[in-house]
Amino acid sequence: MSLVYLLGVMIVIMCLTLLSMSHRKLNKAAGYLALLAPILSSIYFIFQISNVIHHKFTTVHLPWMSSIDINLDLKLDGLSLMLSLIISLIGVGVFFYATQYLLASTDNLPRFFVYLLLFMFSMIGIVISNNTILMYIFFTYFILV
């Protein structure tokens, strides 16, 4: 169930970044605020390494259409942990570099960070999804971003 909390934290940070879009003075702050998502997800995945080594995989099972037995399943096993950690650590570098490199006077800078967050969210979602339907949903987000 802790995987749901991670996804919830990423959604909250993405929403906060969306809220900061209304203020032009907060362009740099939006970058640092968006930088929290990959940092928190990297820390979370680093702490999950010991669980995966001891074969305690984190799984989330959410019934979606119970009449035809379609569920939304997320699973964090060894391969998905490794790929999620790579995505998160590269995300830290990209967000930090973009925050430092892009000018604060650039228009729509918070929107850029929202697109980066959506991209990272969809990549991690593809990696941790445990069924084809949920992977297709995250892949659709990946294509749209």
Cross-strand partners of 73: 61
The residue-averaged pLDDT of 124-140 equals 90
Model-level pTM?
A: 0.82
Cross-strand partners of 21: none
The residue-averaged pLDDT of 80-91 equals 95
pLDDT digits (tens, 9 = 90+) for 1-41: 566 666 666 666 666 666 566 566 667 777 888 888 889 88
Can you read off the two tokens belonging to residue 74?
């997320």
pLDDT digits (tens, 9 = 90+) for 42-66: 998 999 999 999 998 888 887 888 8
- Assess whether pLDDT exceeds 90 at residue 87: yes
